[in-house]
Each structure stands twice: as structure tokens, then as C-alpha cells.
Structure 1
């Protein structure tokens, strides 16, 4: 958790009337409670329009955008797809997604390390997805704060690559605890890296018992059929 977004238990101290007396306000609870109310509104709006929202979360460099490019191409003709892209700066990822023919909108968070429900609601008003669309939200690359913020999504997908450490689920348990699916990406690189898939899955299931896992390669195509089939189960 971080002080930048206020989700790190940040406390504001105000001077009181007596010597040494302070009034402490815990911002974390207020911030998350307000976000949860907005997320509930998003969820209701999605349900009313038959929109399925999927929150994609990972650390930077996991191959999230490349995987998303391939995924939306796989879904052409299956159902409408729209994308909200979250990054601190630039529109590079949005340009990559729109090149596939899918409508996408960039949300730049500046110093912020995650998307929140209000950002998503604002983005949706501009993006205006059609009823029945599949909405991908590509969150800011970060394995901590995005896990804390409900966006109103139908499902949370955590993506990690074999170029990361096998023990990531042990180091960032809350992120994996919230996952509805774990995608292990870049499996085409397994012969060249020191990564134990079975042990990584074991660690992830310590955080979220029984979490389904799909091994994928966004470049070679491994696991894409299974991943797309899972998406179709969401409605």
C-alpha cells in the first residue's frame, strides 16, 4: 500500500486544543468505503446493460497488453469488446489496442498507482460500451494497490510471467487472494528461465485455494483457447 493514493493507512494529524493533543483521521477506511459505494453503482450499471467487466492486474512487464491484443483478436465476431487502459502516463497501450479494431480509452493516473471505481465510471461515460459488451480494464502495473480497489468488475484476472520470480504469490498474497483466475504468461520462455510453474501455482493456491490457472503464451498462442473459453463462462 502506498501514501500516494492514500491507501496506505495514511493519517492526517491536526493540532488540538491541549498541549500535545492530536486528532487523527484514518483516510484509508474512508477512501475504500467511498470507492466501494461507487463500485456498487458500476456493478449495477453493468448488470443492467449486460456488460461483463474483467479487471486485468499484474506487475509491469508481464505481457498484459500483448496478451490483451491477442485476446481481443480472438473475440472478433464473438461479442463486442471495449477496453479501458490504465497507465500513469502515455497513450501507447491504447494505440496498440485500437490498432486491433477495438475501441479503447486511456486513463492516465499521473502519480497514482491504480485505477479506482470513479475513474472507471468516468471512462465508461466517454467510452459508452454497447449492451452485452465485454469490457477489459487493464489496470496500472502494480501488484499491491489495485487489489484493494473494487471497480465493479465481474472478475479479476492476475497475470504473471515466467520472467518473474516463482515466489511472487508469497510476496504479494493479497493480489493473488483476490484473483478469480491466474494466467501464467510467456510460457514459451520456460526453457530459458528459472521458473517453477507447479510451485508458483502451489503458492498462488495458498493465497486463493482452488484458483483456476491457465498457462499462456501471448506470442505463440499457447492456452489462448482455454483462456477465451473461461471468458465465455462469465456471461
Structure 2
């Protein structure tokens, strides 16, 4: 019984800070992605591709979540955009307070698109809103057809799903029809993009969609 109260208290506190984050980011008209995935999905590589394709037109910043290292943050920094590293010390997710503190290290007046790369985990991160406009789940075809059903909350809460490494489908038993069926059974409104970073497939379409969402918020 006490454990339930603790969890409820944590989520309530997070919701309060999330509301403050969202208010500030909306006032600045910054479009925010909260990107979630299992380790090895290609999430960071996708972000590198997005940055390369959009940074000439859109001011981008990234908040990187990782239990211990700054490896991914270094990769993003090499792309020439502002990046703040959050090391969780083993915690399996980012929360709203972490993002609030990270934003203190960014010039929000110089950002149009803020990308939060969450800790590699498809369970805990989905529980915590951080001020985002949209949650994004990235999964690869090598993770198996039924990953959405095994980690339902991430897919239920994600307005955007990116199916990565589609060039590897021919080497797996991945069933595309069953994947779409599973995602849509959890979230019929989810937008799905199929991508391959090695073959540069689907990335132009994804970036065009993101660019439109950023512009919509800027002009709102």
C-alpha cells in the first residue's frame, strides 16, 4: 500500500513540473520531441540524420539522457547543435524536473525544435511527461514483430512511431502487416514512418513532417 502511495506521489510531482515546462516551452513556441526506444534501435543515428537535414532551416537543441556516459551527446555535439547531457546515475528514465534543470543551460530564445533523447528503455520513460508536444517511439525491425505488444504504454502514448532498419527486414522474420496491426490496435492515431539510416530511406519524409510541425507551432 505504501509503495502505491510513493509512486502516485512521484507521478503527481512530475505532472506539476511537466505543466510548468510545457507552459514555458509553449510561450517560446518551441516544438518538443520526447524520443524513446530500446537500446540499439538506431535512435541516436536517426537524430543525427534529422539534425543534418533540418539544421539549415530550423534551430535545434538536444537534451541527452544516459545512465552514465556522454557518448551519444558527443555524437550530437559534433553536428554543431547545443546539447545538454543528463546522467541519471542508473535511473531508467528522464523526468520533468531533469528537463527543467537541463533547460537552464540552454538559450530557449534560440531554439525552434528541442529533442529530448530519453534513456534507452521502452518501459519507464513512457510514464513521465517532460513538457513535450509529442512522444516518439523508435524501434528497429531486428527487435521483433511484437515489440509494441510487449511494451504497450510507449506505443499507446506515442503520436509518432519510427520503424527503423527496414533494410534488414529481408534478414529477419519481421512481419510488417502484424506490426502495423499491433501499433494501430494500441493507438490508431499514431503516425508511422519507416526508415533506414544506412540506405537513407524514409528520412526525407520524416524530416518534412517534423519541419511542418515546427512551423505550425511557430505560426500558432
Global fold match (TM > 0.5): yes
- The CA RMSD measured in Å over matched residues stands at 1.3
Q: Distance in 2 between matches of 1:33 and 1:134?
A: 27
Higher Rg of the two aligned structures: 1
Ranges of 4+ aligned residues in structure 1 off by more than 3 Å: none
How far off its partner does 1:50 sit? 1.2
**Which range is displaced more, 122-131 or 152-161?**
122-131
Equivalent residues of 2:136, 2:159 under 8 A apart: yes
* Match status 1:184 vs 2:177: no
1:107 partner SS: strand
* Match status 1:172 vs 2:151: yes
Identify which of 75, 82, 106 aligns with 1:96: 75
Indicate the structure whose relative CO is greater, using CA pairs within 8 Å and at least 6 residues apart: 2
Name the residue aligned to 1:83: 62
Q: Distance in 1 between matches of 2:153 and 2:204?
A: 28
Q: Distance in 2 between matches of 1:81 and 1:211?
A: 24
2:63 partner SS: strand
Name the residue aligned to 1:207: 186
Q: Describe how 1:153-172 pairs up with structure 2 within 5 A.
A: 153-172=132-151
Name the residue aligned to 1:17: none
Q: Residue deviations 1:145-166, cap 9 Å, x none?
A: 1000000101111000011011
1:163 partner SS: helix
How far off its partner does 1:76 sit? 1.9
Higher percent of residues as helix: 2
Q: Describe how 1:5-154 pairs up with structure 2 within 5 A.
A: 11=3, 26-154=5-133
Equivalent residues of 2:60, 2:111 under 8 A apart: no
Identify which of 217, 220, 228 aligns with 2:196: 217
Residue-pair matches, total:
214
Q: Distance in 2 between matches of 1:126 and 1:132?
A: 12
TM-score, normalised with respect to structure 2: 0.93
